[in-house]
Chains A and B, each alone.
Chain A
């Protein structure tokens, strides 16, 4: 579905991604794990068109999307749930959700999707006219996911959805991600919480200082000594 071929991305003078390649197969949950500053968010920002690669290319459903503007990428069906949720704080829950469907014109289908989001997140329905900035962290994460769903994504990019949430909520959010995937949305999940990410993903990549150092089926990676030692906090015995 998405193929990234040998991209190099710079943040000012910093060489953030070095010759990075990865593939996301349709229907799967693919996760990108790694430490802080490894380049995980940079990868997602590049896919979303917020950053442009210096070299290499990105192919989405046989179409070259390298260097396309963010709004064109959203229109193609790649939607990101950004790090730190980034809901619009001074707009209501309802308005945030409507903004998720900003590029869509099919009013009836938008209504249906809104109902679906409210069924999935009853809390959001209760707080529909509340300002998004007044929601709790977990509610904001739900809103950010709901907002992305309103765009009817084919590929959803999730950046650190577990960040700053209590363990119980993290479990809930990951359950929701799994459900979204089961209803046909492909997912690329960036996480520091490698344990949770590997438990729901089909395939995984490990990123270190801008380079992919390891990849494989998630279940296999979860067993690999290197991953256990570096990311799962486990000992190798």
Chain B
């Protein structure tokens, strides 16, 4: 029973990691950049939600949509200002820039809003249902529901729309995509917008589930989601979903059966193991060197 309980809790946490990990993996897939500022977009999503509820008294759905909108615009701006000028530079340059953007966002929020954690306002009164001895809360159901709906929409965009087709084409061969008449810059902007919107949604869900938000809240979940993306196979969207769920479950199993002291260590232990055993990730294909 304890196992099932931790599994449910782990899947809820994992859904949040999955939403963040998708953004990492989409951006990597299209510009081969690990966007280390992605966790901070998630943090800003939580803060946008905070103000939407506290200042304007918005209910859940408008709050969610507003945070997603603000963060997608922010993601596009960051790409334009910080990453686009470095598109043809060595990858390490863009990576260091991403770390810089991350520190910048954290410290701007800290400067404007202060470093102290704030309680995220209660949007729902928590109800717990018992299903054959396993406790499931309405907040967990909300997390599953929102994550599922967003992932279905994402799949639709990627596989059924013109812009989705363009995104896949650009991620497979940028110059060939240009020769089809695809506007590569715009396609990359849209990718950042979608990834950032998903991170914002994760931020709101975390605010509701673990109601304490602060300017540095994005660091650890950001890193764990990055591990999730690597675990699933970086650049592969279903891999990011799978990786996120595995990470969430692994973390709560460690908490449930061992000690919560190790909940963060497990993430990085997984990273080390996956890099040793299968660096391309669970769903990644082993790349053959071109000769």
Contacts and interface: CB of A to CB of B under 8 A. Distances in A.
Interface of A: 48-50, 69-71, 74-75, 79-80, 82, 86-91, 95, 98-100, 102-103, 147, 151
A173 B166 CA distance: 28
Interface in B82-121: none
Contacts of A102: 162, 165-166, 180-182
B122 interface: no
A103 B175 contact: no
A157 B183 CA distance: 20
B191 to A, nearest CB: 16
Interface string B155-197: 0000000100110110011011111111100000000000000
A74 B168 contact: no
Among B162, B178, B182, chain A packs the most CB atoms within 10 A around the CB of: B178
B180 A50 contact: no
A98 B161 CA distance: 12
Given A50-B175, A82-B175, A82-B176, A98 B165 contact: yes
A138 B21 CA distance: 39
Nearest to A132: B172
A111 B160 CA distance: 17
Contacts of B172: 88-91
Contacts of A82: 175-176, 179
A237 B206 CA distance: 83
Contacts of B168: 88, 90-91
Contacts of B162: 102
B178 A86 contact: no
A236 to B, nearest CB: 38
Interface of B: 162, 165-166, 168-169, 172-173, 175-183
A86 B172 CA distance: 10
A79 B162 CA distance: 19
B169 to A, nearest CB: 5
A99 B172 CA distance: 13
Contacts of A69: 183
Contacts of A100: 180
Contacts of B179: 48, 50, 70, 74, 79-80, 82, 86
A82 B169 CA distance: 15
Given A48-B179, A70-B178, A86 B173 contact: yes
Contacts of A87: 176
Contacts of A88: 168-169, 172-173, 176-177
Contacts of B165: 91, 95, 98-99, 102
Nearest to B178: A70
Contacts of A70: 178-179, 181
19 contacts: A50-B179, A69-B183, A70-B178, A71-B182, A74-B180, A74-B181, A79-B179, A86-B176, A87-B176, A88-B168, A88-B169, A91-B172, A95-B165, A98-B165, A99-B165, A100-B180, A102-B165, A102-B182, A103-B180
B169 A151 contact: no
B175 A71 contact: no
A70 to B, nearest CB: 4
A91 B169 contact: yes
Contacts of B183: 69, 71
A75 B173 contact: no
Given A86-B173, A89-B172, A50 B181 contact: no
Contacts of A79: 179
A27 to B, nearest CB: 23
Given A71-B182, A71-B183, A89-B172, 12 more contacts: A48-B179, A70-B181, A82-B175, A88-B169, A91-B168, A91-B169, A98-B165, A99-B182, A102-B166, A102-B181, A102-B182, A147-B180
B179 to A, nearest CB: 5
Given A90-B168, A98-B165, A75 B181 contact: yes
Contacts of B177: 88, 99
A7 to B, nearest CB: 19
Contacts of A147: 180
A89 B168 CA distance: 10
